[in-house]
């Protein structure tokens, strides 16, 4: 990126505010590091200044500094005023802060506040994080007064704006009264899609000399998001093509052999899906235990139900062939292909188990071919639909989740169908005819048709997801 050439030093941004407003959480969201610092409901959690870096192409563009919460602003402002009176000189804001930092109270009563102010003086700008559910009190006004003495551009950030008890208008009025007109709303736990872009562009407006760095960061984030979506869609396409191609050979049509074969196929699909979930989580820089939602029935990054679970299918309004015996034999969602015929394994199982001669007769002369020819089990089309819907739903939920989220209850993404229910995409039908595509290894890398199918299918999935995002 050529634009980075002229950038010689990173922008230093302090994150300040009253205690417990979400400062450390903001760092987690902006760095996409769910393990940054310590976050808790207790006030006074962060006790020291802690830095985090934002890199683009290996270059540090921004250094963010988490700071301890300010706890006694009223007392501190009174002290600063008293110190100004005693000194009698006309010092500017930063000089007054320096004077305070050199005084004894900065090492005693106001040790925490001193850490914040020292960092403020060293920074190019600061975010002032506000819990907008709080009423605007004297302590907040005093806190802002003190921070403004540092002479650094301050961008107030209204957190908890989505909460019903947010007092956004009162805060805007109070901030305007203090001369702070550039304000950003930013829900730290569940930021909107363009939340970060707005945050940095507002900051760029306040920091003219560093606008190029912030613009480069914004562009990089957009590019990263695009590449991440592309890579994610590709992972899903690979999963679907692999599963569509899966076949489990069964040597006889004996119900027990069928049930064992069906179970082996079932286990293989569950494993493949799990591997895909793990790759998606790591692509979006989440840990398995970050994800647990009602909409997405994942526990510790693992689906509660395997894709063959009738509840899951029902949820998506899908059915798979299922006779009485099918569920019991783990055969639901699995087809038998034999002698060029595709039959629901369940139907056949039901016929064999129940001695349903009627059904057997129905297959007529093809039955012989089935008995003697090659017999394979494969997954039902609807299982592929479930897999597609779940993985795309997961991506949408991950996109909406900030890295500061503590619980996952806020995810509203429901798993919705992605593949249409009339005919499977051509690539998946092609995969049905190419069992070798179910392999996991490097021999597949050279298969041009497979590569093409992955690219086409992932483009289709990307498009379907775009419609789900609206």
Q: Show the tokens assigned to 435.
A: 């069992």
Query: Between residues 272 and 401, which has the closer beta carbon with respect to ligand GTP?
Result: 401
**SS3 assignment for 61-99:** EEEEEECCCECCHHHHHHHHHHHHHHHCCCCCHHHHHHH
* Exposure class string for 228-265: b at 16+ Cβ within 10 A, else e: bbeebbbbbbbbbbbbbbbbbebeebebeebbebbbeb
d(CA 378, CA 266): 9
d(CA 364, CA 250): 21
**SS3 assignment for 367-389:** HHHHHHCCEEEEECHHHHHHHHH
Residue 171 CA, chain-centre distance (Å), reads 30
For residues 43 to 82, the per-residue mask of contacts with Mg ion, x marking binding by CB under 5 A and - elsewhere, is --xx------------------------------------
Smallest separation (angstroms) from Mg ion to the CB of 66:
6
d(CA 1, CA 126): 27
Closest residue by Cα to residue 389 from 368, 413, 418, 363: 418
Q: Show the tokens assigned to 6.
A: 């002229």
Q: With CB cut-offs between 5 and 8 Å by kind, which of Mg ion, ligand GTP, none does residue 128 bind?
A: none
Q: With CB cut-offs between 5 and 8 Å by kind, which of Mg ion, ligand GTP, none does residue 20 bind?
A: ligand GTP
For residues 242 to 281, the per-residue mask of contacts with ligand GTP, x marking binding by CB under 6 A and - elsewhere, is ----------------------------------------
Smallest separation (angstroms) from ligand GTP to the CB of 13:
15
Angle in degrees, 0-180, between the axes of helices 73-87 and 93-101, rounded to the nearest 10: 100
**Residue 200 CB-half CA count within 13 A:** 23
188 binds ligand GTP (CB under 6 A): yes
Q: Show the tokens assigned to 315.
A: 């949820």
Helix (H) or strand (E) holding 265: helix 255-283
CB 147 within 8 A of CB 112: no
Question: According to CB under 6 A, which residues from 388 to 427 bind ligand GTP?
Answer: 404, 406
Q: With CB cut-offs between 5 and 8 Å by kind, which of Mg ion, ligand GTP, none does residue 323 bind?
A: none
128 binds ligand GTP (CB under 6 A): no
Q: With CB cut-offs between 5 and 8 Å by kind, which of ligand GTP, Mg ion, none does residue 123 bind?
A: none
| The one segment of 19-27, 143-151, 209-217, 380-388 that binds ligand GTP by CB under 6 A | 19-27
d(CA 186, CA 110): 29
Query: Between residues 17 and 322, which has the closer beta carbon with respect to ligand GTP?
Result: 17
Q: With CB cut-offs between 5 and 8 Å by kind, which of ligand GTP, Mg ion, none does residue 201 bind?
A: none
Q: With CB cut-offs between 5 and 8 Å by kind, which of Mg ion, ligand GTP, none does residue 19 bind?
A: ligand GTP
Residue with tokens 């200044």: 49
| Residue of this chain nearest to ligand GTP (CB atom) | 69
Pick one of 43, 177, 205, 340: the residue that binds ligand GTP (CB under 6 A).
Answer: 43
For residues 11 to 50, the per-residue mask of contacts with Mg ion, x marking binding by CB under 5 A and - elsewhere, is ------------xx--------------------xx----
| The one segment of 43-51, 207-215, 315-323, 420-428 that binds ligand GTP by CB under 6 A | 43-51
Q: With CB cut-offs between 5 and 8 Å by kind, which of ligand GTP, Mg ion, none does residue 389 bind?
A: none
Pick one of 3, 9, 35, 44: the residue that binds ligand GTP (CB under 6 A).
Answer: 44
Pick one of 11, 12, 14, 25: the residue that binds ligand GTP (CB under 6 A).
Answer: 25
**Strand partners for 259:** none
* Exposure class string for 193-226: b at 16+ Cβ within 10 A, else e: eebbbebbebbbebbeebbbbbebbbebbeeeee
Smallest separation (angstroms) from ligand GTP to the CB of 187:
5
Closest residue by Cα to residue 185 from 208, 203, 162, 164: 162
Query: Between residues 387 and 398, which has the closer beta carbon with respect to ligand GTP?
Result: 398
For residues 140 to 179, the per-residue mask of contacts with ligand GTP, x marking binding by CB under 6 A and - elsewhere, is -------------------xx-------------------
d(CA 18, CA 113): 10
Question: According to CB under 6 A, which residues from 195 to 224 bind ligand GTP?
Answer: none
Smallest separation (angstroms) from ligand GTP to the CB of 191:
8
Using CB under 6 A, list all residues that contact ligand GTP. Answer: 19-25, 39-41, 43-46, 69, 159-160, 187-189, 404, 406
Using CB under 5 A, list all residues that contact Mg ion. Answer: 23-24, 45-46
């Amino acid at each position: 990126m050529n634009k980075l050439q002229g950038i010689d030093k990173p922008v230093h941004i302090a994150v300040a505010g009253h205690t417990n407003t979400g400062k450390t959480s903001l760092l987690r969201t902006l760095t996409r590091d769910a393990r940054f610092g310590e976050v808790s409901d207790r006030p006074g959690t962060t006790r020291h200044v802690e830095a985090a870096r934002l890199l683009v192409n290996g270059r540090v563009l921004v250094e963010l500094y988490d700071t301890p919460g300010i706890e006694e602003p009223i007392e501190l402002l009174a002290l600063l005023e008293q110190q100004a009176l005693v000194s009698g000189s006309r010092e500017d804001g930063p000089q007054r802060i320096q004077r305070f930092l050199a005084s004894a109270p900065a090492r005693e009563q106001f040790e925490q506040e001193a850490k914040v102010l020292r960092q403020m003086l060293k920074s190019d700008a600061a975010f002032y994080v506000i819990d907008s559910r709080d009423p605007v009190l004297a302590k907040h006004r005093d806190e802002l007064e003190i921070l403004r003495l540092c002479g650094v551009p301050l961008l107030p950030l209204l957190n908890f704006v989505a909460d019903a008890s947010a007092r956004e208008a009162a805060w805007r009025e109070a901030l305007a009264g203090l001369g702070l007109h550039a304000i950003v709303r930013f829900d730290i736990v569940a930021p909107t899609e363009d939340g970060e872009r707005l945050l940095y562009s507002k900051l760029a407006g306040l920091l003219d000399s560093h606008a190029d760095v912030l613009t480069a960061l914004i562009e990089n984030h957009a590019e990263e998001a695009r590449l991440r979506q592309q890579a994610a869609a590709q992972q899903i396409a690979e999963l679907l093509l692999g599963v569509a191609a899966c076949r489990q050979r069964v040597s006889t049509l004996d119900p027990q052999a069928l049930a064992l074969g069906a179970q082996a196929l079932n286990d293989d699909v569950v494993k493949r899906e799990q591997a895909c979930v793990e790759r998606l989580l790591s692509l979006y820089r989440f840990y398995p235990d970050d994800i647990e939602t009602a909409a997405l029935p994942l526990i510790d990054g693992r689906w509660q139900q395997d894709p063959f679970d009738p509840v899951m299918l029902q949820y998506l309004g899908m059915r798979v062939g299922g006779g009485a015996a099918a569920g019991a034999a783990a055969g639901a969602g699995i087809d038998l292909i034999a002698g060029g015929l595709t039959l629901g394994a369940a139907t056949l199982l039901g016929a064999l188990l129940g001695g349903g001669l009627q059904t057997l007769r129905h297959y007529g002369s093809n039955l012989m071919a089935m008995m003697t020819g090659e017999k394979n089990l494969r997954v039902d089309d609807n299982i592929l639909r479930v897999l597609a819907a779940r993985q795309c739903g997961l991506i949408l939920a991950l996109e909406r989740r900030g890295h500061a989220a503590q619980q996952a209850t806020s995810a509203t993404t429901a798993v919705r169908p992605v593949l249409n229910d009339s005919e499977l995409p051509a690539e998946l039908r092609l995969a049905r005819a190419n069992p070798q595509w179910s392999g996991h290894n490097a021999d597949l890398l050279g298969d041009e048709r497979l590569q093409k199918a992955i690219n086409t299918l992932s483009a289709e999935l990307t498009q379907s997801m775009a419609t789900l995002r609206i």
